[in-house]
Chain A
């Protein structure tokens, strides 16, 4: 466990030296949470590319990429890039804050896996990704209105508790 923490400290230290404290903020939530940093939106692609290329981090796999809607808090949305390194055996999360209506550059040039993840985030939260090769809805229908994982989207429809009435035609 201690070896892993040391490796992570090396990664975060290098990130701060490379990009400065204005861009990178280390989150310390202790416990068993995945170590993470919050990155300025303008520099996100550079940071991700650095994390993939640098031998001390070598995060070769994008395990997951998803959004969180913080509801009333600021920033409203949070994107979490969840990385995994086979070589260094560690996991790392990179977070970006977004306001409603803002977009981020796509990471599909760095990891192909991001392509479907970003389509899902667009589908569920309505966040747009600049330069994405094929930004369509992925799980919901093209004609669906709204983005379900936003907190202002209701869990239940207006008629969820109404009885389902079957109207039978008259028999001849």
Chain B
């Protein structure tokens, strides 16, 4: 009788299905995974350290580059923390626009997830459909913010500028069309027998384990835990919107798929309510030393120009203290914990990255599963390495 030997396989860091530069070392008994160890940090840029050398306004641009599928939510989380530190009250119009834009960004992020996740498992068609709709969203985002992926549009105190006049019609046309598109994806996947066989009863995560590992977002909700920052700790007027939190029951790959698709439908509800009730008014809080003046004013008024440079160069000095701002990003609870020592730069900026913790639970999910399911498990968690490695 020959002895049993485990085989060690190195998956990544250059592997198309790991969504970036993730390396997994898998220990296999035949096709069954005995143990897996993720190695991360290939994309580490030291964002937390860099922020300590920048003023509050300058550090904003670093946040775009964390989860690059989701720039606007990152901006929002950072701005919420800063605004708490300074004690700013944001005008209603800016709050509503923030909600609408973040929900559009959530749709784009979920579409990217759906496309790549389905492609990983072998359903290639979905990619083309999902990217078509994602393109429409990115066009709207580009129209409003001037950039597709790194908008830096949500600023401390409000927004960079008001949205263009055609914004509402563009968004309305999109949300009128989009529910039909989700139906299309569902006809491709939801009842598809191959899709079901590849995703059902795979990579379980129980509710207790999910909480223990600190998992948040759709992965947590697929395990049946009702926790969404938008409902639990409402920010940016989310408490004025009517929407539901879709929950899964089993916590397998299929449940995560269903939860995310339902979430997209809820996002459309939020966007349409936001467009319907979008208030008029300014988009920036009135705070002289903190919020830079409007662009038009800068071009015609010398004093405004000086003020603009003063705010951008020297920044503002929030009182010493700590503040935590968190949003429900497409991946989970994204939080910024800022420590201020009273100077114009953050003394410490801690990012609470949802993907970091969600990835931490992957070894637990895939233990005892087949090697072919690792790809499905990683895809279902929807990791972005830019955020994990920071």
* Chain A interface residues toward B at CB < 8 A: 29, 31-34, 60-64, 66, 68-69, 80, 82, 86, 89, 91, 111-113, 115-116, 124, 137-141, 148-149, 153, 155
Contact = CB atoms under 8 A, between A and B. Distances in A.
Contacts of B52: 155
Interface residues of B, number: 39
B50 to A, nearest CB: 7
19 contacts: A32-B323, A63-B333, A64-B337, A64-B350, A64-B352, A66-B337, A68-B339, A68-B348, A82-B337, A82-B352, A112-B212, A112-B214, A113-B212, A116-B357, A124-B48, A138-B41, A148-B49, A149-B49, A153-B49
B360 A113 contact: yes
A108 B23 CA distance: 23
B389 interface: yes
A165 B222 CA distance: 53
B44 A63 contact: no
Interface string B231-248: 011000000000000000
A33 B322 contact: yes
Contacts of B357: 113, 116
Contacts of A140: 41, 44
A33 B335 contact: no
A160 to B, nearest CB: 12
B247 to A, nearest CB: 13
A149 to B, nearest CB: 6
Contacts of B352: 63-64, 82
B225 interface: yes
Contacts of B335: 63-64
A140 B50 CA distance: 15
Contacts, number: 85
A50 B84 CA distance: 30
B113 interface: no
A32 B339 contact: no
B41 A111 contact: no
Contact of B232 (A62, A89, A141): A89
B390 A139 contact: yes
Nearest to A60: B211
Going nearest first, the 5 A-B pairs with the smallest beta carbon separation are A113-B214, A139-B41, A32-B84, A64-B352, A155-B53
Contact of A111 (B44, B50, B214, B323): B214
B46 interface: yes
Max count, chain A CB within 10 A of own CB: residue among B52, B84, B87, B322 = B322
Contacts of B390: 139
A62 B364 CA distance: 18
A34 B324 contact: yes
Interface string B203-228: 00000010111100000000001110
A62 B357 CA distance: 10
A62 B348 contact: no
Contacts of A64: 335, 337, 350, 352
B16 interface: no
B321 A31 contact: yes
A69 B213 CA distance: 26
Interface string B376-390: 000000000000011
B40 interface: yes
B324 A112 contact: no
Contacts of B347: 68
A149 B390 CA distance: 13
A126 to B, nearest CB: 14
Contacts of B46: 148
B41 A31 contact: no
A9 to B, nearest CB: 19
Nearest to B83: A32
Contacts of B389: 139
B78 interface: no
B153 interface: no
Interface string B32-55: 000000001100101011101100
B147 to A, nearest CB: 26
Contact of A33 (B226, B232, B323, B364): B323
Contacts of B337: 64, 66, 80, 82
Given A33-B322, A82-B352, A86-B225, 18 more contacts: A31-B84, A31-B87, A33-B321, A60-B211, A61-B211, A64-B335, A64-B337, A64-B352, A66-B337, A80-B337, A82-B324, A86-B227, A111-B212, A112-B213, A116-B360, A138-B41, A140-B44, A155-B53
B356 interface: yes
Contacts of A63: 214, 333, 335, 352
A137 B40 CA distance: 10
Contacts of B324: 33-34, 82, 91
Given A60-B211, A64-B337, A155-B50, A139 B44 contact: yes
Contacts of A69: 348
Contact of B321 (A29, A61, A68, A89): A29
Contacts of A141: 41
B48 A149 contact: yes
Contacts of B226: 86
